[in-house]
Structure 1
Amino acid sequence: MRLFFMAILLLYAGTSLAADAAQRAVFRDALAAAQQGRLDDRSDLRAQLQTYPLYNYLSAAELRYRLDTDANAALDTQIQSFISAHPDLPPAESLRRNWLPTLARRDRWSMLLANTKDSDGSTATCRAVNARIQMGGNPRAAALDLWRVGRSQPDACDPVFGWLEAQGLLGADEVLERARLAVLAGQFGLTRYLARQLPANRRARVDQWLDVAETPANLHYASAGLDGDIAVYAFKRYALRDLDRAADLFTPLAERLQLDEAQRHDMKRQLALLYAQSQKSQALVWFARMDHARMNDDEHALGWEIRAAIYHERWPLVVDAINDLPPAIADEEEWRYWHARALEAMGRTQQARTLYTPLAQERSYHGYLAADALDQDYSLNEQPLVVDRPARARVESRAALDRAYELRALGMEHAAGLEWNAVIDGLDQAALAQAARIAHEWNWHSRAIITLVKADYWDDLDIRYPTPYSDAVRQFADDNDLDPAYVFAIMRTESLFQPAIRSSAGAVGLMQLLPGTARLVARRMDATSPSSSALTIPEINIQLGTGYLAQMLDRWDGNIAMASASYNAGPQRIQRWLPDDDMDPTIWIANIPYTETRNYVQRAMSHMTVFQARLNENIVPLDKRIDEIKPSYGDQTASR
């Protein structure tokens, strides 16, 4: 092993991967100067970086500064040349995106069109269509496509819509059509704006749509002429607010409005799903009323039909529903397990064992449950990745690899991630696997794990289940009476070991703590209240994350499934999902209403199993690890 790592070091010696701290400090100074338009005054810095992998980042920063301060035709030519010369350089792409709006402001229509991509989004698309108009074109179809959208479009679309109006292409029919789309998208403000552009007789129709869409209970009084799709939209909203009353309304409403079979199916689907996700037996009734010929491609509804039957232990229904699944769906591990489980519950033990046996060889949540059913040890199926030097050479030949390495060394993680995407773009599976090993050698665990998935290689557990920050995990797990394998499992599931990651909801760091939650936990632990930035420090995040995880376990009397669900979705939601009677935990987990949380709990339990093996712990079988779900938890937690 020592010789292997020496070989790696020798492989990188003499390349930019061996850049030293002094050179990186020079780059930092040069980048700051370029971003402030002062790099020309620091020729000494530029000279020292001629061979540095990130040298072109300086040129991009200079061009961006000039673009912000003095955009002109000569600069446009320079930017065009830079982008053309560096098509795979992330700052070149960022420069292009920032350049486009300045081209529009300066009427540089031809250059704007030449540099706009289909993937740039609606604002760029509107600019491009306007460019065609300004250049004398007649992009009627493209302009109308921008109009026929049920949401507010960006300001860049206004000139396009003005052109449509001037061409006489936005009559009452077109305005009414968009108002209808806006209602169906829930954009009621836009709907009212459009209604004001209509004559009174047309406006009354929009008012009728808004009446039921905004106040769905008004469907009880809806007239026969109501648009069917609007009625279905309003009905779905009504079901979310008052499920039982919506169910009672289904038949009279469908008959009064003479809804077609597709519309009726859509309404029944909503009722069935909501009853299933509320753990109500009415779900089985509504699924039975659905036209299953329309459900062949509806994996979501098919799954919930089975889950509802599982929840109410209607095992023959489970078997029938799984037998009716399309083969590709029926072959998923979840349904293979529940097929066997249902057969076992019906006394068809040998058939169940036949299904359990191959599934028990899988390293997965449902594979482990199958092994438990057979009283077998778990199969971890570890197969370390073999070094493939030609494939590795294909990765190392990419300049983006050097840039990604340097950006990580500089602490510029987001930019490094963009470069990593350039590294792996277009690689074959063998090269992707070697790229994953390189990222692992850099301790860049998130990229290593994700890249190995792209390579469709699943059995190198050293790469897929690393144990970084081990000292902190062990210390704080011990302080909170937690299994370190559980902490690693939560950390992997939450962040893929990225200490600075922030979610769209504001959760921060390795264990994805909301700042407010972290402060409450710190107060309970008599620890220093952390700032949001402090939560990116691994030791602080792990200390507070393990404290919160311990609180969740305490709240649910040590039930690890409920604690995991609470960590993801919040304890208040879990309180609402408690059953009326004691319940098998695997049935409860299978029926967690939120797909994200259901998958989260299953992944956490599966990951914990592997980490127990990686940490040389005794592997605790799932049927011993996960306790029964009790409605009395609700009584216990009310006073906590």
Structure 2
Amino acid sequence: MPKGVYLRRAQRAAWLAGLGALTGALLATPAYAQKRPAPQPAALTIPSNPDEAFVALREAARKNDVDRTAAISATLVDYPIPSYVEYFRIKPQMFDASGLARIDAPDEQVRVFLKRYQGEAIADRMRNDWLLVLGKKRDWANFDVEYPQFVLKDDTQVECYALLSSALKGKNVAAESRAVLADPRYYGEGCVDLISYLAQSQQIQRSDVAFQARQALELNFTTLAAKIAATVPDTPSAPTAPGARVDSDTLATVVKMARSDPAQAAAYLTATGGALSRDEQGAGWGVIGQYAAKKLMPEAAGYYKNQMTLGGNQWLSDESQEWRVRAALRQGDWKQVRQAVELMRPELRTKDPAWIYWYARALKADGRTADAQTQFQTIAGQFNFYGQLATEELGNRITLPARTTVSDAEAMAMRTRPGFVRAQKFYELNLRFEGNREWNWELRSMSDRELLAAAEYARKIELLDRTVNTADRTKAEHDFSLRFVMPYRDIMQRATDDVGLDMAWAYGLIRQESRFIMNARSSAGAHGLMQVMPATAKFVARKIGMTDFSPSMMSDPNINILLGTSYMSMVLTDLDSSWTLASAGYNAGPGRPKNWRSSLSRPVEGAIFAETIPFTETRTYVKNVLSNATYYAALMSGRPQSLKDRLGTVAPSSITTTSLP
């Protein structure tokens, strides 16, 4: 989900976290400020190795350190990627230390940069940054010129500024704004400014602002929620003190209470809900239902039934709408599944194959077989979890599409593509974010055959994650041997045979875990192909009698695969040989799927269990691992496969302890 990663996430987080500190700074008196001793500049140390200096420049730019980026960039006059040297020098002049856009940014330097590197990925990145600056200082003349040239348009805050610019020119943008303002995690200053203007110009109502504040509160963004609430104008008919709630105190309390104790929130809403409108009561029950569903409480479906009776569906966040379906799925209430999907925001129910699939299943359960078949057919051609399940619902097993092969000459012709050259340099420096940006930019306008040539080139130079991701983009011509590569096959065969493990499942897991990046490291410290945590590696090594194990060995694919597959086997045994449970256990720890299944009231199909996993990361992980494994099995065996068979059925059980980490 690209939403303007890299600096933009940091900017938004810093903006939210820093509001309180900013207020304190504004209250400081000039006299006090004059008495503070001037900070002494630290001595600037610059690595003598150009590559090390470049990495240091990038880090300084990330911190928006103007002095350090200027000093380091001056030493990199002949560096082979001059565009990034210049970008890293200019960017800190556009944002302050907390990541907020500066109104005194060097506009002329930016213009020169955009002209010099026109058409390159880094120019689009620079234009994105500049649009944030232009929006912040309300320079709509330049903003309106630059915005149409912004290619990726993956920054919610920029989209908010674009809508604000249109609104200021008299256009009604309320409907477009509601579509953009769907996830408060990406709002930043621009979207609060948009909400404020739309409220003041009466393009949106108090109820719209209340909904936006409530969405932020659901995510526990209390500062953002207060900031949004304060945008409502103070009018005689709706007096609002600065910073006062636009939402009722009762409903805000329900949201906060539901996060920790949905039952308590339900009791509170029942006792006090009479002071709320029907829509507000419905919104309250929707929030309670969401948190109850995430805790796998059987009462969740009942809370959602209250919501559906009262209405107010337009005031439910996407998260509440999705968990309304999941709560009904877990209870086996297909009528409520159908109704819940039909009530979803149209963009949600028609773009996500999950809700198309479950809607079709609900239609089928209602005896509307022809309607269900029509729905299944809309996604059966997709190479994903729900596309595969829809294929099986139509009576077919999962097979591989015809293979399109490209020549060595076509593949090697890719080596001169400027974006790929820059990407390889970044990968050498272990700067994967910049490398992936350059690589993906080069792919934008490629035909399917060119994409396969690029994927094959990536395979030849051992950039296997780029092989997979590039081959994944094709629409009509495919090569699944590139989408589902199988490196280290001899090692994998030996390791999986030794513990009796399905090699297709092991490959499916590695594809999801690391995309075959041998030196991949997670923020939690997981290492290598199979992303084994240090403590887990030590535990498994001891269990299998590896007395000479040390963490440095995890860089060896032989050791990484040996310990990873051994742990997979242990988890599988601990979880009743269920691939669904074991995939969840590998990601979230084996204790969690035991807890999740203990709350079941009856056996459920594996797809329902996977869809209702409370953790978003683990839910996505399980679906992808088992989807991958199904295609790997088809590649290895040459025979049609069944994802449904892999998912199996998950039955309830009492919680039992586990000795596995």
1:99-118 deviations in Å (ceiling 9; x for gaps)? 999999xxxx9896766868
- The CA deviation at 1:634 is 2.9
3-state SS of paired residue (2:570): helix
Contact 1:333 1:366 in 2 (8 A): yes
The one of 266, 275, 283 aligned to 2:292: 275
1:284 aligns with 2:320: no
Give the alignment partner of residue 339 of structure 1, picking from 331, 341, 359: 359
1:572 corresponds to 2:599: no
Shift of 1:484: 0.8
Q: Which residue of 2 aligns with 1:557?
A: 576
Please state how far the C-alpha of 1:508 moved relative to its aligned partner. Answer: 1.7
Residues 369 and 278 (structure 1), Cα distance of their counterparts in 2 relative to 1, 3 Å cut: same
Alignment of 1:585 with 2:582, yes or no, is no
TM-score (norm 2): 0.62
Q: Which amino acid aligns with 2:285?
A: K
In structure 2, the CA distance between the partners of 1:103 and 1:81, relative to structure 1 (3 Å rule), is: farther
Q: Does residue 185 of the first structure (1) align with residue 221 of the second (2)?
A: yes
CA-to-aligned-CA distance 1:493-515 (integer Å, 9 cap, x gap): 11111111112222221111111
1:449 and 2:468 equivalent?
Answer: yes
Q: Deviations over 1:215-239 (max 9, x none)?
A: xxxxxxxxxx987466645433322
Alpha-carbon spacing, 1:451–1:35, altered in 2? closer, same or farther (3 Å): farther
Q: Distance in 2 between matches of 1:245 and 1:634?
A: 25
Find the residue that maps to 1:280 and give its secondary structure.
Answer: coil
Q: Does structure 2 retain, via aligned residues, the 8 Å contact 1:549–1:563?
A: yes
Deviation at 1:612, TM superposition (A): 0.8
Q: Which amino acid aligns with 1:339?
A: Y
- After superposition, give the CA deviation of every residue in 1:561-588 in whole Å (9 maximum; x if it has no partner): 0000111111222122111333332222
Distance 2:500 2:319 in 1: 39
1:461 — aligned with what?
Answer: 480
Among 481, 486, 501, the alignment partner of 2:520 is 501
Q: Answer with 91-100 or 540-549: which moved more.
A: 91-100
Which residue of the partner structure matches residue 197 of structure 2? none
Once the two structures are TM-superposed, the CA of residue 267 in structure 1 deviates from its matched residue by: 2.9
Taking structure 1 as reference, are residues 322 and 380 closer, same or farther at Cα in structure 2, changes over 3 Å only?
A: farther
Q: Is the 8 A contact 2:422 2:438 kept in 1?
A: no
Whole-angstrom distance in 1 between the partners of 2:553 and 2:255: 44
User: Is 1:425 paired with 2:441?
Assistant: yes
| Residue aligning to 1:601 | 622
User: Is it true that 1:627 corresponds to 2:648 in the alignment?
Assistant: yes
Which secondary structure state, in structure 2, belongs to the residue aligned with residue 615 of structure 1? helix
Q: Give the structure with higher Rg (CA).
A: 1
Q: TM-score, normalised by structure 1?
A: 0.64
Q: Distance in 1 between matches of 2:558 and 2:379?
A: 39
Alignment of 1:312-351 (within 5 A): 312-325=331-344, 328-331=347-350, 332-349=352-369, 351=371
Q: Which deviates the most, 366-375 or 575-584?
A: 366-375
CA distance in 1, matches of 2:441, 2:270: 53
**Counterpart selection for 1:304 from 323, 328, 339:** 323
Residue number in structure 1 paired with 2:495: 476
User: Comparing 602-611 with 351-360, which one deviates more in the overlay?
Assistant: 351-360
* C-alpha spacing 1:461/1:61, structure 2 compared with 1 (3 Å): closer
Q: Secondary structure at the match of 2:301?
A: helix
Classify the secondary structure of the residue corresponding to 1:577.
helix
Matched, 1:510 2:529: yes
Distance 2:660 2:75 in 1: 66
Shifted more, 258-267 versus 336-345: the winner is 258-267
**Partner Cα distance (2:526, 2:97) in 1:** 38
Alignment of 1:536 onto 2:536: no
Tell me, yes or no, if the aligned pair for 1:87 and 1:93 is still in contact at 8 Å: no
- CA drift at 1:477: 0.8
Separation in 2 of the partners of 1:630 and 1:66? 53
| CA-CA distance at 1:605 after TM superposition | 1.2
Tell me the residue number matched to 1:401. Answer: 420
- C-alpha change, 1:446 and 1:118, in structure 2 (3 Å) is same
- 1:310/1:318 contact within 8 Å kept: yes
Residues 258 and 265, structure 2, Cα contact 8 Å, conserved in 1: yes
What is the DSSP-based 3-state SS (H/G/I as helix, E as strand, rest coil) of the residue aligned with 1:429? coil
One-letter amino acid of the structure 2 residue matched with residue 623 of structure 1: K
Q: Do the aligned residues in 1 keep the contact of 2:411 with 2:457 (CA within 8 Å)?
A: no
Contact 2:363–2:371 at 8 Å: present in 1 too?
Answer: yes
Output the CA distance in 2 between the equivalents of 1:413 and 1:535: 18
Note if contact 1:609-1:619 (Cα within 8 Å) is conserved in structure 2: no
Distance 1:440 1:358 in 2: 32
Return the offset for 1:543: 1.1
Distance 2:527 2:356 in 1: 37
Q: Provide the rounded CA distance (Å) in 1 between the counterparts of 2:55 and 2:292.
A: 56
Once the 2 structures are TM-superposed, how far is the Cα of residue 492 of structure 1 from its aligned partner? 0.3
**One-letter amino acid of the counterpart of residue 610, structure 2:** I
Q: Which of 241, 255, 263 is matched with 1:244 structurally?
A: 263
Instruction: Report the alpha carbon displacement of residue 548 of structure 1 after superposing the two structures with TM.
Output: 1.2
Aligned partner of residue 509 in structure 1, secondary structure: coil
C-alpha displacement at 1:607, in angstroms?
0.5
Equivalent residue letter for 2:460:
E
Task: Report the Cα offset of residue 489 of structure 1.
Answer: 0.2
Contact 1:228–1:263, Cα closer than 8 Å, also in 2: no
Check whether the contact 2:510–2:529 (CA below 8 A) recurs between aligned residues: yes
Give the 3 Å change call, closer, same or farther, for CA 284–327 of structure 1 in structure 2: same
Task: Flag the 1:512–1:76 CA change in 2: closer, same or farther, 3 A.
Answer: closer
Paired residues for 1:153-164 under 5 Å: none
CA distance in 1, matches of 2:422, 2:290: 49
Q: Residue 634 and residue 59 in structure 1: after superposition, are their counterparts in 2 closer, same or farther (change >3 A)?
A: closer
- The alpha carbon displacement at 1:606 in A equals 1.0
Q: Provide the residue aligned with 1:79 in structure 2.
A: 74
Cα displacement string for residues 35-61 of structure 1 (whole angstroms, at most 9, x for unaligned residues): 654x8xxxxxxxxxxxxxxxx859958
User: Which stretch shows the higher mean deviation, 325-334 or 434-443?
Assistant: 325-334
- Given residue 493 of structure 1, which amino acid in structure 2 is its aligned partner? Q
Unaligned runs of 5+ in 2: 1-44, 111-125, 138-160, 162-183, 189-215, 228-240
1:286-336: per-residue Cα shift (whole Å, max 9, x none)? 323336564498443332222222221222222333344455544443233
Question: SS of the counterpart of 2:602?
Answer: coil
- In structure 2, which of residues 618, 630, 635 is the aligned counterpart of residue 614 of structure 1? 635
CA contact (8 A) 2:282 2:312 kept: no
Q: CA RMSD in A?
A: 5.1
CA distance in 2, matches of 1:344, 1:443: 46
Q: CA deviation at 1:95?
A: 5.3
Q: Say whether the 8 Å CA contact 1:63–1:79 is kept in structure 2.
A: no
Separation in structure 2 between the aligned mates of residue 292 and residue 458 of structure 1, nearest angstrom: 46
Q: Secondary structure at the match of 2:74?
A: helix
Q: 1:390 to 1:238 in 2, by over 3 A?
A: same
Distance 2:258 2:554 in 1: 41
Distance 2:60 2:469 in 1: 37
Choose the corresponding residue for 1:435, options 448, 451, 454.
Answer: 454
The one-letter code of the counterpart of 1:575 is: K
Q: Indicate if the aligned counterparts of 1:343 and 1:351 stay in contact, CA closer than 8 A.
A: yes
Shift of residue 619, structure 1, vs aligned partner: 5.1
